[in-house]
Structure 1
Amino acid sequence: MSEFAKESRNKIVRGAKRGTYDKKAIYEILDAGFLCHISFVMNDAPFMIPTAYARQGDKLYIHGSVKSRTIQETKKGTPICFCVTHLDGLVLARSAFHHSVNYRSAIIYGTAHEVVSDEDKNEALRLITENFLEGRWNEVRQPNQKELDITSVLEIDIESASAKIRTGDPVDDQEDYDLDIWAGQLPIKRIYDKPVADQLLKEGIEGSKAAHLAWEKSKQ
């Protein structure tokens, strides 16, 4: 199926015309980011945490300390709501009321289970690291056994999802288009600045190719 089924938990009610259930569009939003917010209920109270992630197929991967309350709770199969949002610009209307933003936002629903084998954990950590900064995994020391033992990795099955996307100009009241007020868009882009070396870096160490490439792409 090319779309997620519309159901009660993922149905877009407000602004439905901006919504989509298309898997390709939703996965593109996920793949364009590396920071998500995960919400869940524990002991009858809502919780939300930001964390890094990666996607492979219809699976999402997150990691954390084996002592993390979030990890301990969600690996039980507690339902998860997973959100990724990109802010693409401010939309400046002629009236204060109609100011808005251009954005891409995906909401994922699913359940998690713990990745057990060291080989699978290491692969998931590679995916998360590469999603954090492409090319970085091959520049660094790989996780050792102690690090793997104190780290939990969760695999989240994407069971349901939807996205909302807004693009374009402000939408004003018809009579306001005659006002002598500037209106338009203020685009927002995520950029990287020039890499700054660690103060404790040994002399003679060449710069990170992955970081330098990300910086160069930002200047384009």
Structure 2
Amino acid sequence: MTTNDLLELLRRHLPEIQASLTAAEYARFQDSVRRLREVGDDTRAMRFALREVRLCLLALPRENELRRRLDQFRSAGAARAAVLPDADRLDEVIRLLESVDWPTLDPVSAEIARGVRQRLLTAPARGPERLTGAAAEDPARAGLIRLTHPELGHRYPDFQFDPDTGEPRPVVQRINRMLLSDQDPWGAADWWLGGNTWLRDAPAALVGRVPDALLTEAAAALVGDGAW
């Protein structure tokens, strides 16, 4: 098994890995995969980094298919077959790692969560190159939701921006902070883009069409804090 074979296995099994590891174990696993990119062309350092990835995954159940396949990768001969990974393939796995960051769930719940995220990623959005001013310098500080697309990278849902000026809408920034979008961007995006019983429509579709105070009250009802 080559390094690229291992990356393909990781790509296919990421939701399963996330569902099987604790939050701390998964965070360590994420760091170990990112380290593969940091070591560059140093083959010796790459072997140590690959060993760290494998050790992180030993927490998987023994009957897990990925865990069984890791034994093939453990042999020295297989590890030497192709130590340095394809850069594009490694970048893809890292992008996927950063987009699969929901709390540890059982496999069924993880599948549901992935479906929700796929739906949210179909909404119109822009890349970081279209951000300006303070939003470009620090999107999270500017109160913007940032989602991570497995192929396109960071995406910022369009409803957050004034269609004429391209600047962030103040009401959206305020509500995003109420929803703690910097900690749970997917949950915040789901509130905006999903149906809302109280508002009788998706909040994102009502920005600019209803008073800002009404949207703020709806968000405050969700977080249970009238102080906003």
Shared topology, TM-score over 0.5?
no
Greater relative CO (CA pairs within 8 A, separation 6+): 1
Higher strand share: 1
TM-score normalised over the length of structure 2? 0.23
